[in-house]
């Protein structure tokens, strides 16, 4: 009986450890915050993930280097290094949100009009197409999702800060897109079922005539924190077993 009890407690501790890893960072509903302010200037960004305020991967088609311009604070320069090839810097957060509200915001600075994109996917894969926001080489903003094309919804400019906000209502299965305070898409069904919002891709490419560069700053993802094991502690497990 003692061995059985110890085995149950050990499994519970493992489960608690797994929850802690998947829930990083935990606090105030912040799933990811990447300001790049504490990173080394003119050096490639690390890939330590949400807990470090960093992406989890940088594609081979782009470079991702911390710069002290053009924003007033350090930002991430994402540059296209392979013409006619789309690639991205990939962020993920530990908790894939399937219910409730998730808000994703960031500041962008395009050095030129080219082809850039912001994509929202699930965690661990790019299969679930929650949202594609494309900043195209004719200066238009094009939106699509798993349900298909939404179309051209606005325009963008180079040489200044652009703020993007994406709000998901995962209970309703919809999203709202705002750029510089203007709502470009409101309450659009994303068409994904069975997965949750868990990844953000920011990248460039596709145009063989241009080598695009954008700067990314103040990435913030806010949403519901997981709770399956949150209220369970080692003491509670022992108490439950004794009862």
Query: Are the C-beta atoms of residues 106 and 186 closer than 8 Å to each other?
Result: no
With both helix axes pointing from N to C terminus, report the angle between 2-22 and 234-242 in degrees, rounded to the nearest 10. 150
pLDDT given for residue 95 in this prediction: 79
Instruction: Return the CATH fold of 28-225.
Output: Jelly Rolls (2.60.120)
pLDDT given for residue 212 in this prediction: 86
pLDDT given for residue 241 in this prediction: 30
Strands annotated E in 16-138 = 30-34, 57-58, 62-67, 75-80, 87-97, 101-110, 116-121, 131-135
Domains in the chain: boundaries: 1-23+229-243, 28-225
Query: Are the C-beta atoms of residues 96 and 123 closer than 8 Å to each other?
Result: yes
- Residue 165 has, within 13 A of its CA and on its CB side, a CA count of 12
Residue-level pLDDT, tens digit, the chain, 243 residues: 434 343 333 333 333 333 233 334 434 699 999 999 999 999 999 999 999 999 999 999 999 999 999 999 999 999 998 766 789 999 999 878 899 999 999 999 999 999 999 999 999 988 899 999 999 999 999 999 999 999 999 999 999 999 999 999 999 999 999 999 999 999 999 999 999 999 999 999 866 566 689 999 999 999 986 544 333 333 333 333 333
Q: Tokens for 177, please give them.
A: 């897109």
pLDDT given for residue 178 in this prediction: 98
Whole-number Å distance between alpha carbons of 66 and 239: 50
pLDDT given for residue 9 in this prediction: 33
């Amino acid at each position: 009986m003692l061995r059985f009890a110890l085995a149950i407690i050990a499994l519970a501790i493992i489960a608690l450890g797994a929850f802690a890893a998947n829930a990083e960072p935990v606090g105030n509903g912040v799933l990811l915050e990447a300001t790049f302010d504490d990173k080394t200037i003119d050096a490639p960004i690390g890939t330590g993930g949400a807990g470090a305020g960093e992406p989890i991967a940088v594609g081979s088609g782009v470079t991702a280097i911390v710069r002290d311009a053009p924003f007033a604070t350090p930002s991430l320069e994402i540059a296209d290094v392979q013409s006619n090839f789309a690639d991205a810097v990939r962020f993920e957060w530990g908790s894939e949100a399937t219910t409730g509200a998730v808000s994703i915001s960031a500041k962008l600075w395009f050095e030129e009009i080219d082809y850039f994109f912001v994509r929202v996917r699930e965690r661990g894969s790019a299969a679930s197409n929650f949202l594609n926001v494309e900043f195209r080489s004719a200066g238009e903003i094009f939106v699509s999702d798993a349900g298909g094309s939404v179309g051209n919804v606005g325009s963008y400019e180079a040489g200044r800060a652009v703020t993007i906000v994406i709000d998901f209502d995962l209970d309703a299965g919809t999203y709202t897109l705002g750029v510089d305070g203007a709502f470009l898409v409101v309450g659009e069904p994303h068409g994904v079922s069975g997965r949750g919002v868990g990844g953000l891709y920011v990248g460039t490419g596709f145009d063989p005539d241009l080598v695009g560069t954008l700067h990314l700053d103040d990435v913030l993802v806010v949403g519901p924190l997981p709770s399956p094991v949150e209220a369970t502690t080692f003491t509670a497990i022992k108490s439950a077993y004794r009862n």
